[in-house]
Chain A
Amino acid sequence: MMSEFEIEALKLSLQVALAAVGFSLPIAVFTAWLLARKEFAGKSLVDGFVHLPLILPPVVVGYVLLVGLGRNGIVGGFLHDVFGITIAFTWKGAAVAAAVMAFPLMVRAIRLSLESVDQGLEQAARTLGASPLRVFATVTLPLASPGILTGAILGFARSLGEFGATITFVSNIPGETRTLPIALYTLTQIPGGEAGAFRLVVISVLVAFAALLASELLARRLKAKLGG
């Protein structure tokens, strides 16, 4: 039904998107909590920095990643020399690019849901003997879970569609960094590639719908668990 080329691109896209969300979700939750609940010097600076990928051209983000995480970059060189990890021009790099681009969307959604959790409930839990960490795990997090789910889905969708930063940072390597959008772009550059491109469009739409449906079902179950 699907060609090897298509299966490869689809599998890679799902792998990259899942890794990107799995890796950045805890950080996004922590950042959102920091922005929602804490007052500290330089808060607006942090807020602005988190939102940078949303307003910068993706190519700029990709280039910055390349400079920083490439083998000659400060972080990339360190990772390669000490741990033997290469990020640039690998699928891991694609995941990093997707995570960075999706990060502000995730933080925004999660922050909203954290802000809507009644702090009175958190206070009540404290008076009942729960440490701040336990309060977060047993009260804040469960009550914010619908928003965290929304953030994760938004991040997943954004990661699936990531193109500009990815192609700048990790290029277009078949089987390694050629995700669905990049494969689609490749086909549009080849004479006679229109039919193949159209098939990829259909696959992209189906994947997006499946993700949406899954999130809807999850949200319903969460809602029931939260006691309506």
Chain B
Amino acid sequence: MNANGHIVDIDIRLNRGDFHLGARFATEGGLSVLFGKSGAGKSTIINCVAGLVRPDSGHIRIAGETLFDSAGGINLAPEKRRVGYVFQDARLFPHMRVGANLEYGMKLIAVSERRHTMSDVVDLLGIGKLLDRYPADLSGGEVQRVAIGRALLASPKILLMDEPLAALDFDRKAEIMPFIERLRDEAGVPIIYVSHAVEEVVRLADTMVVLADGDTVAFGDVEDIMSRLDLRPHTGRFEAGAVIHVWVAGHDDDYMLTELGFGAGSVWVPRLELDRGTPLRLRLRARDVSLSLEPPRGSMTLNTFEGTIVDIENVAEGISPHVDVLVNCGAPVIARVTRRSMNDHDLKPGMKVYASVKTSSIDRHSLGLGRRR
């Protein structure tokens, strides 16, 4: 760890024709997502970290080691950087069996420096049956798991994952996600993860770095970033919503419901097979949250929270019929209302409101396993 205690410390600039990259962020390890639209510079940043692209200036420090520093004239070769790179297209060696692919980086590391054993990684990723196959005979999900294993076995100081799920269909994504969660929680390697999918952020990320047109717009805890209305143009509107920390408070077996507790109340969601006390991260999409000025009577919604309006999204007229409203209910909740109701009820910061969420709008993709910090 370096002087300021950050595990990942990146400050780089790069100009290539019309493309300008100015990335500056630091994280404390865990899983950090580089989030932004395609062309925002996400992949370029991790290529710089891996040493495949050379920034014009700046520095890259990982776990206390300087990989690149233009001022100090340092630019380590890729093979000296000890980064594990999981490419979007996996890039398994087609002429080697899965076993040889997995061993490729491991063999280049002294035994004393190996941090994972072959059997641990094979178990973690469930790839024991694939070892004698060639990459051409694997499914998309299997290919990505082998690619993750190959990177991990090289005992990297950091894992770089470039949209490892982007090429996979819905089921395959669901197959890989738990492995990445386990990697984050068990392998103890910091991860930089490139994504443009909010659901991956919610499920996987501790920290997020928001990028737009090559610039770092913001970085910080996922919860903080997702509740900032001013970042909405970058975090996206359709899937937008607040992310709050919750824990499993109890189950109602008769009605097949689970109660999730948070700062100032609880949310009922469809039954989850999780132990009491399990920390979770819950994304409440703004379009699933409605507001009212009175406590709704006779409403069929189980989840209603009292709160105060903190902020109202500043959207110019004529762009959208909706505006998003940030409400503090003990946790930040974002609700999407029409501009018309906003004006009819004269919504303003400081007003007391009731936010309601429909139970059925919360599904597995709104939940991520939280981390006990």
- Chain A, 116-169, CB within 8 A of any chain B CB: 118, 120-121, 123-131, 134, 138-139, 142-143
Q: Which of A139, A227, A228 has the most CB of B within 10 A?
A: A227
Q: What is the number of residues of chain A that contact chain B, defined by CB distance less than 8 Å? A: 21
State whether A120 touches B89 (Cβ < 8 A).
yes
**In angstroms, how far is the closest chain A Cβ from the Cβ of B343?**
54
* B93 with A126: CB separation less than 8 A: no
B79 and A124: CB pair below 8 A? no
Grouping DSSP codes into helix (H, G, I), strand (E, B) and loop, the A interface class, with mixed when no group exceeds half, is helix
Residues from chain B with a CB closer than 8 A to the CB of A213 are none
- B89 proximity list for chain A (CB < 8 A): 120
- A151-206 contacts to B, CB under 8 A, are none
Instruction: Point out the residue from A130, A225, A227 that lies within 8 Å of B135, measured CB to CB.
Output: A227
Measured in the bound complex, the distance between the Cα atoms of B109 and A142 in whole Å is 23
Cα A124 to Cα B86 in complex, Å, equals 9
Q: Which residues of B contact A129 (CB under 8 A)?
A: 79, 82, 105, 108-109, 154
B245: interface (CB < 8 Å): no
The complex places the Cα of A197 from the Cα of B219 at a distance, in Å, of 83
Interface range, B side: 20 to 34
B187 is an interface residue with CB less than 8 A from chain A: no
Contact partners of B105 in chain A: CB under 8 A: 128-130
Complex contacts, B61 vs chain A, CB 8 Å: none
Most A-side CB within 10 Å, residue of B51, B78, B109, B134? B78
- Contact between chains at A227 and B136 (CB < 8 Å): yes
Contact status A127-B84, CB under 8 Å:
yes
CB-contacts of B169-202 with A (<8 A): none
Contact with A along B218-252 (1 / 0, CB 8 A): 00000000000000000000000000000000000
Distance A120 CA – B50 CA, assembled complex (angstroms) = 13
Does B315 sit at the interface, judged by CB under 8 A? no
Assess whether B262 is interfacial by the CB under 8 Å rule. Answer: no
Taken together as a complex, chains A and B put the C-alpha atoms of A120 and B89 apart, in Å, by: 9
Establish whether residues B79 and A130, one from each chain, have CB atoms under 8 Å apart when the complex forms. yes
Give chain B nearest CB distance to A111 CB in angstroms: 20
B162 to chain A, nearest CB (A): 11
> Which of B242-267 touch A at CB < 8 Å?
none
* B237 shortest CB reach to chain A, Å: 34
B-chain residues with CB within 8 Å of residue A123 when the two chains form the complex: 50, 52, 78, 91
10 examples of A-B residue contacts, CB within 8 angstroms:
A121-B94, A123-B50, A124-B91, A127-B52, A127-B78, A127-B151, A138-B104, A225-B95, A227-B136, A228-B134
List 4 additional A-B contacts (Cβ < 8 Å) besides A126-B51, A128-B79, A134-B108: A120-B87, A121-B91, A123-B52, A126-B79
10 nearest A-B residue pairs (beta carbon): A128-B105, A227-B134, A129-B108, A126-B78, A124-B91, A127-B85, A226-B95, A129-B79, A142-B95, A128-B154
